[in-house]
Structure 1
Amino acid sequence: MAEDRPELGRAQRRHWQDTYATHPGMYGERPSAAGVHAAEVFRRAGAEDVLELGAGHGRDALYFAHEGFTVRATDFSVKALTQLSAAARAQGVADRITTVEHDVREPLPLPDASVDAVFAHMLLCMALSTEEIHTAVREVRRVLRPGGTFVYTVRHTGDAHYRAGVPHGDDIYEHGGFAVHFFTRDLVDALADGWILNEVHSFEEGDLPRRLWRVTQTLPS
């Protein structure tokens, strides 16, 4: 099934564009619980600038800005970033947020060691192969300053949708047009190789409920 992955990626990008166009602000204005936690972690670490991968329409990026961080918010949906920028202007934090159209399959458009912290809520568990996930985390490592912190969340193999829906191989299953790569604990541990793995926290979100891990890992200083 690996041969259909590039088309799956393109189809997912179109699907998210259409979803944000049809359902603007689809996740609401309140930050995610993971975003609130990440802000606390980043503040304790003395971080000032945050890179958010897969920011969507910006509920967490806006929260980070209100909490005093400078935020670079990336997403592959122009529709979502347009909504984020409009909300930032309306809330008076546009000077603290920069939006960048970016597909996580591509190198990050940032210099080495240029940010204090990185946040990604359910971005790494999208329709990415295991190899693409490893490449994305290597990019996070590249742009983080020594001692920098990476907080991410992913759906895992204990989730009710794992091994249900349309299979695409590599633990990727599609439900209602959304493809998800369900993480094993071995994958989490492999992604932390060369990092300090601070925490792997299990939690639930949404009505299903979705079952996720919140992972915090730090670059050695």
Structure 2
Amino acid sequence: MEPKGTANVSDDGQDLAEVQRTHWQNTYTTHPGMYGEEPSAPARHAAAVFHAAGARDVLELGAGHGRDALYFAREGFTVQATDFSAAGLEQLGAAARRQAVDRRVRTAVHDVRDPLPLPDASVDAVFAHMLLCMALSTEETHALVGEIGRVLRPGGSFVYTVRHTGDAHYGTGTPHGDDVFEHGGFAVHFFPRDLVDALAEGWSLDEVHAFEEGDLPRQLWRVTQTRPGTPSV
């Protein structure tokens, strides 16, 4: 077995990225609305953070079929939801129409390995539930957080969750290097704490909250950090 964290997932990253894209496209097609309609606990936390900061518009990365994006819209935010699965976003759009929040929700198919399709300082808040711990290399994750910092307005909030190296699946399954391990076709980048700290360099790191979710149960961190600067009024 390859030692943990020694290889770089980017060595086979493009192939792995395409495998993961196909995996999620097939998953959402086969199991529409697979996560249900209730928002995740991290989304409820994020909404409270965003309201307290006076945010109006939210970018959600890895929105899937939209349970959290739709919750943000019902909470009164304008939401841009991105995912690399067109099938998931089609379900999100249909649900937004059923819930009569479609005027508050826009969707865009996007791979987070590419620059975010938004202008500088154009959103108040960003949310990503388990998106950063997908099959992204450490280098790609740093680039993504750099992009998030670019599109956030000064004082903007970023809330994300990741599975970490205390998770029972860490170090098991198919290794892809850089702390990425695959189980049942699903690849996860398990975060060590020093990666969380490194991604917060130049930000205000407000909270790192440990919690459990789902089967096993999965071990995650919920991270809240703020872009430096004074929010515009």
Q: Same fold (TM over 0.5)?
A: yes
Secondary structure of 1:207's match?
A: coil
CA offset at residue 209 of structure 1? 0.4
Q: Percent identity?
A: 75
**SS of equivalent residue, structure 2 residue 37:** coil
Match of 2:161 among 150, 153, 166: 153
Q: 2: distance between equivalents of 1:115 and 1:5?
A: 29
Q: Higher relative CO (CA 8 A, sep ≥ 6), structure 1 or 2?
A: 2
Alignment equivalent of 2:20, drawn from 12, 17, 26: 12
Distance 1:32 1:90 in 2: 20
The aligned amino acid for 2:15 is E
- 2:76 is equivalent to residue 73 of structure 1: no
Shift of 1:4: 1.6
User: 2:39 matched to which residue of 1?
Assistant: 31
Offset of 1:73 from its aligned partner? 0.2
Q: Take 2:40 and 2:216, find their aligned partners in 1: how far apart are those partners?
A: 16
Quote the residue 1:190 is aligned against.
198
Distance 1:130 1:193 in 2: 14
Shift of 1:17: 0.2
Q: Does 1:200 align with 2:208?
A: yes
SS at match of 1:29: coil
Structure 1 gap ranges (5+): none
1:98 aligns with 106
CA distance in 1, matches of 2:182, 2:27: 15
1:173 CA drift (Å) = 0.1
Matches within 5 A, 1:132-147: 132-147=140-155
2:102 & 2:184 partners in 1: Cα distance? 34
Measured in 1, the distance between the counterparts of 2:181 and 2:190 equals 8
Aligned positions, number: 221
In the alignment, what sits opposite 1:218?
Answer: 226
Which residue is equivalent to 1:130?
138
TM-score, normalising length from structure 1? 0.99
CA deviation profile, 1:61-114 (whole Å, cap 9, x unmatched): 000000000000000000000000000000000000000100000000000000
Q: Aligned residue for 1:119?
A: 127
2:11 is equivalent to residue 22 of structure 1: no
Give the Å deviation of 1:220: 1.1
1:198 Cα offset (Å): 0.1
Measured after TM superposition, the shift of residue 207 of structure 1 is: 1.6
Instruction: State the Cα distance separating 1:19 from its structure 2 match.
Output: 0.4
Q: CA RMSD in A?
A: 0.6
What is the alpha-carbon distance in structure 2 between the residues aligned to residue 10 and residue 24 of structure 1?
A: 21
Paired letter, 1:168: H
After TM superposition, give the deviation of residue 6 of structure 1 in Å: 1.0
The residue identity in structure 1 corresponding to 2:204 is: I
SS at match of 1:68: coil
Alpha-carbon distance in 1 for matches of 2:189, 2:179? 6
TM-score w.r.t. the length of structure 2 is 0.94
